[in-house]
Structures are given as C-alpha cells and as structure tokens.
C-alpha cells in the first residue's frame, strides 16, 4: 500500500458502509409495508434464514462457485483463442464473429436440458452453460482492444523490419489488456448466471437447485436469501477483477466501442451481395459444426437432432405446417413481451444517464450502485420480480427491462464522460444552456457506448424473457422449450432453439445496422479503424 493511496481508504469504506446501511433500512421499511403478502422478505427474516441454513447455503454456494469458475475459465479461454484467430487472420473477422454470435444466442433455457441429457447428472451442463454465457462478452471487447492502438506504434515495429508477430507481442496484446479486463469483469456475474441456469435443468446440488426448490415451495425468505447470496458473490467477483485490472493495466489507451473495422464501401448492390455471402457462409459453417458435433460424438438421433431432421420437421413432413404454426404462435407471444421490455430498459437506462448528466453530483452517487446492480445475475432476481409483480406480462416485461436497463445505464454514463472537455468548455464560454450542451456535445459522445450496450442486450433480453417464461408465465418460446424438453419432443425443441438463436442474431444484426447508420453521422471516428 503506497502512502498516496492511504487517505482515500477511510472515506471510501465509510461511503460504502453508508450506502449498505441505507439499502438495508429501505429494504426493511419496504418489507414492513408489504408484510404478509408473500412478496418480500425483510433483512431480518433473510438474516435469520441465512443464520439457520448457513451450512446448506454454504455448500450449495461452493458447488455453484466451482461450476461458474470452471465455466469462466473455459469460456474466456475460448474467447481469447477466437480473438487471436481473428487478429492473426483479419479476413476471418466477419465469419468468426457471426458464428460466435449465433452460438452465443443459443437459448440457455433449451441448451440446458439438451446438455443435461448429453452429460447426465454431473456438473457438465452447468460448466458448459457458464462458459457459453461468458465467451462472447469477452470476445467482443477483446476484438476491439486488439486493434485499439495508435498507428505510430505499429510504424515503429515496422521500422525495425519486424512483422505482424512482433506487433502482436509488443503492442496489440498489451494494448488489448484493459479491454480484456473489462470483458472478464462482466464475465464474472455472467458465469454465475450460466451456472445457475445449468443447475435449474436438473442438477443435484448448487444454488440453482435451492432457488428452484424455494420458488416451488413459495419460500419467500429462502428465495430472497439465495438471491442476496448470489448477488453478493457476483458483485465481489466483479469488484475483485476490477481491482486486479487496475493493478495489471494502469495505462489505458483511448476507448473504442464500435466493432466495425472497415466501413462498407462500394455500391449498394455489391454491399448487399457481400452481406448475403456472409449470411450464407455463416449458415453453412454452423450447419456443418452442428452436424459434425452430433456425428463425432455419435449422439443418439432420438434427442440429438441433425440439421436434416429439423429440415424435415419444419419443411417436408406431412404436418410441417402445424409445427411451424406452433413455433410462430410461441414466437409471437415472446416477441410482444421482449420488444417492449428491451426498448423500455434501454430507454430508461439512457434517459436516466442523460438526466444524471445534467446533475453530475448525482451521477457520482448512482454509478457505483448501478455497477453493483448490473453484476447481479438476473436469474437470481427473476424470481423476486415474479413474486412482486405476478406471473403476467408486466412481470416478464419488467424482468427484460431490468436485464437491459443496468448495462445501458452504466454504458451511457461512461459514454457521457467521453464528451471532449474542450468542446464542453467552449460551450460554457458562450454560456450555452445545459440542454444544448447535452444535445451538441454529450449525446453524440454517449451514442457509441449506448449502441454497444444495445447490441449485447439483445441476447441478454432473449435470455431474460425465456427464463421468465419458463419459470413463471408458462407462455411463449421459453415455456415451449421447457415443455418440449420434459416431454422429449426433441424435434420441436431443436426447432425452437434454431428460431431463438437466429432471431437473436438477427436482432443483434439489426441493432448493428442502426448503430452504423447513426454513428456514421455522429461519431465516424469510431468506425474508422
């Protein structure tokens, strides 16, 4: 500990303790006001539950932490390998990203049961799901980080007659370090979430198992206690990685958020053709991987459906039309909940960030809280929201909105801080009113961060809605997948997985198109490199 850092400690600790105390008091008051309604367990009741069941909870927590940890390692390793492939073979960027995206969009709710059948009762599915839920959020920032270095650094490498490899070792890897750390930080709670969803699918031990049991038994204290434990552990992991990041890479290069490297050039027809080629190539690679995975492990055709099974089921079979109708109805039910929730979450997140930009003092107080809440695994809070808002559409939409709200808020606050200081000074010099400052300088600075959050929120929103449908409402694709998994209707299950993955990837792509169009106007420098 250096002398310089010391004086900050008492203040920071005091403030943290203060906010914790404030949250506890508010929580207690809320619990008092709704006492007896089976919605909210107060801090006293939760504390009591934890004290009485600390052995049980402790054991379950240890199991979940282990699963999440292995998944965290495997997923991030995969992300690093993918990013290195793209960095060394830049031509592969679009294809690798697209394939990675679709795999990331596989609905955990459905892949969980399938993996359960494949792996049996062990920790395999939990670890795989944890890995699946982290690799993309590390891959994307790492991809950006590997190209986020000033051109002069590369000129220097070339000047000494060195090539791609030296640039890689001496510049790119180190320049990407802060981005990797940011990715790892977000990955910590995501891994926890993935492990818990894996445990929902019929594990024998773990916090997910306890959550499911508590929800079925309407055990409000237990539900809240487990959510609290899951949230605290996630926040701790998030904070610990943040501290580590400050240690490892104190020097932060400029922040880039957009993933696009080369802006699309040439006539529209050519661009459309290139897009179509990419979609077809991605589809071909995915179908190939899918088929290969099934054949290499010689998985039974009964539950491990091949691409041609699904083609038959959805297109050539006698009652294919009925199958498609079932899927379409479920998709519609899901869409009407996920779209409003997604937009509301983004809108409120960005809106609150803008409001806070007008009152910077408040922003300083809200940001730590928002970062803390962002690290809470949504699955842990979903049961609470269901308890509070019921099993109707309001509850589901709220879960989706909460899932997208915090990432949007945090990203937008960070984005607003990127507004160039000299531009703001110039406006102050002319006594421009705060709204005009917001519009002309701060909003354009916020948009790249906003869109980065919006893109990654698409799969997150789909995850949230399918989990909510599965656990609570009994409608839509989430419920369909849960039901078909338990009735062994694997053709329909795989079809639903296909629909959800393609739908998410499509949504991600659409947001990306909007992002390009908007950033090309307000922040072309983000798209340049």
Q: Considering beta carbons, is residue 20 or 248 the nearer one to other proteins? A: 248
Residue 425 CB, nearest approach to other proteins (Å): 20
| DSSP for 449-516, written as a single string | HHHHHHHHHHHHHHHHHHHHIIIII--HHHHHHHHHHHTT-HHHHHHHHHHHHHHHHHHHHHHHHHHH
Residue 253 CB, nearest approach to other proteins (Å): 7
User: Using the rule CB under 8 A, is 176 a contact of other proteins?
Assistant: no
Of 73, 174, 285, 423, the one binding other proteins (CB under 8 A) is 174
Of 267, 282, 247, nearest to 103 by C-alpha is 282
Non-local (6+) Cβ contacts of 207 within 8 A are: 57, 60, 61, 63, 64, 196, 199, 226, 229, 230
User: Using the rule CB under 8 A, is 366 a contact of other proteins?
Assistant: no
Residue 7's CB is within 10 A of a number of other CB atoms, namely: 8
Task: Count residues binding other proteins (CB under 8 A).
Answer: 20
Residue 238 CB, nearest approach to other proteins (Å): 24
At 280 the three-state DSSP class reads helix
Which of the stretches 88-96, 166-174, 231-239, 394-402 binds other proteins when contact is defined by CB under 8 A? Answer: 166-174
User: Using the rule CB under 8 A, is 153 a contact of other proteins?
Assistant: yes
Buried b (16+ CB within 10 A) or exposed e, 469-501: bbbbbebbbbbbbbbbbeeeebbbbbbbbbbbb
Q: Considering beta carbons, is residue 243 or 251 the nearer one to other proteins? A: 251
User: Using the rule CB under 8 A, is 185 a contact of other proteins?
Assistant: no
CA atoms within 13 A on the CB side of 107: 34
Residue 270 CB, nearest approach to other proteins (Å): 16
Buried b (16+ CB within 10 A) or exposed e, 294-317: beeeebeeeebbbbebbeebbeee
Of 19, 53, 66, 166, the one binding other proteins (CB under 8 A) is 166
Q: 225-284: which residues touch other proteins (CB under 8 A)?
A: 249-251, 253
Of 2, 91, 152, 319, the one binding other proteins (CB under 8 A) is 152
Q: Considering beta carbons, is residue 166 or 418 the nearer one to other proteins? A: 166
Residue 161 CB, nearest approach to other proteins (Å): 4
Q: Considering beta carbons, is residue 33 or 152 the nearer one to other proteins? A: 152
User: Using the rule CB under 8 A, is 177 a contact of other proteins?
Assistant: yes
Binding site for other proteins (CB under 8 A): 150, 152-153, 155-162, 166, 170-171, 174, 177, 249-251, 253
């Amino acid at each position: 500990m250096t002398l310089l850092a010391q004086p900050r400690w008492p203040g920071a600790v005091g403030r943290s303790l203060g906010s914790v105390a404030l949250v506890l008091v508010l929580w207690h008051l809320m619990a008092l006001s709704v006492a007896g309604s089976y919605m909210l367990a107060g801090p006293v009741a939760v504390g009591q539950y934890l004290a009485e069941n600390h052995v049980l909870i402790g054991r379950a927590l240890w199991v979940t932490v282990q699963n999440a940890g292995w998944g965290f390692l495997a997923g991030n390793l995969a992300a690093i390998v993918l990013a290195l492939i793209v960095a060394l073979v830049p031509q592969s960027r679009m294809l690798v990203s697209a394939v990675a995206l679709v795999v990331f969009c596989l609905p955990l709710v459905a892949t969980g049961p399938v993996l359960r059948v494949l792996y049996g009762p062990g920790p395999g599915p939990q670890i795989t799901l944890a890995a699946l839920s982290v690799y993309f959020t590390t891959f994307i920032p790492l991809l950006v980080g590997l190209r986020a270095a000033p051109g002069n650094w590369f000129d220097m490498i070339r000047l000494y007659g060195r090539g791609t490899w030296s640039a890689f070792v001496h510049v790119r890897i180190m320049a990407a370090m802060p981005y990797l750390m940011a990715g790892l930080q977000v990955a910590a709670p995501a891994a926890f979430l993935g492990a818990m969803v894996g445990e929902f699918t019929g594990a024998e031990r773990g916090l997910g198992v306890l959550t499911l049991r508590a929800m079925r038994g309407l055990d409000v204290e237990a539900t809240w206690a487990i959510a609290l434990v899951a949230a605290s552990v996630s926040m701790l992991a998030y904070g610990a990685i943040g501290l580590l990041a400050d240690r490892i890479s104190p020097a932060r290069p400029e922040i880039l958020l957009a993933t696009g490297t080369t802006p699309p050039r040439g006539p529209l027809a050519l661009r459309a053709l290139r897009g179509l080629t990419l979609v077809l190539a991605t589809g071909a690679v995915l179908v190939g991987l899918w088929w290969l995975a099934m054949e290499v492990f010689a998985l039974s055709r009964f539950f491990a459906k091949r691409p041609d099974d699904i083609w038959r089921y959805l297109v050539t079979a006698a009652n294919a039309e009925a199958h498609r109708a079932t899927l379409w109805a479920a998709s519609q039910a899901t869409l009407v909940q996920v779209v409003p929730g997604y937009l509301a979450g983004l809108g409120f997140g960005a809106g609150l960030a803008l409001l806070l930009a007008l009152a910077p003092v408040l922003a300083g107080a809200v940001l730590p809280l928002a970062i803390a809440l962002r690290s809470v695994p949504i699955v842990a809070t979903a049961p609470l929201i269901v308890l509070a808002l019921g099993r109707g559409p309001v509850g589901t939409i709220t879960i989706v909105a909460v899932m997208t709200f915090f990432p949007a808020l945090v990203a937008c606050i960070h984005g607003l801080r990127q507004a160039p200081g000299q531009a703001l000074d110039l406006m102050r010099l002319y006594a421009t009113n705060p709204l005009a400052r917001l519009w002309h300088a701060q909003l354009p600075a916020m948009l790249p961060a906003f869109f980065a959050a919006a893109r990654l929120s698409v799969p997150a929103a789909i995850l949230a809605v399918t989990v909510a449908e599965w656990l609570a409402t009994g409608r839509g694709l989430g419920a369909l997948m849960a039901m078909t998994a338990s009735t062994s209707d694997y053709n329909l299950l795989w079809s639903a997985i296909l629909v959800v993955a393609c739908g998410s990837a499509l949504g991600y792509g659409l947001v990306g198109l909007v992002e390009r169009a908007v950033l090309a106007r307000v922040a072309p420098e983000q798209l340049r490199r």
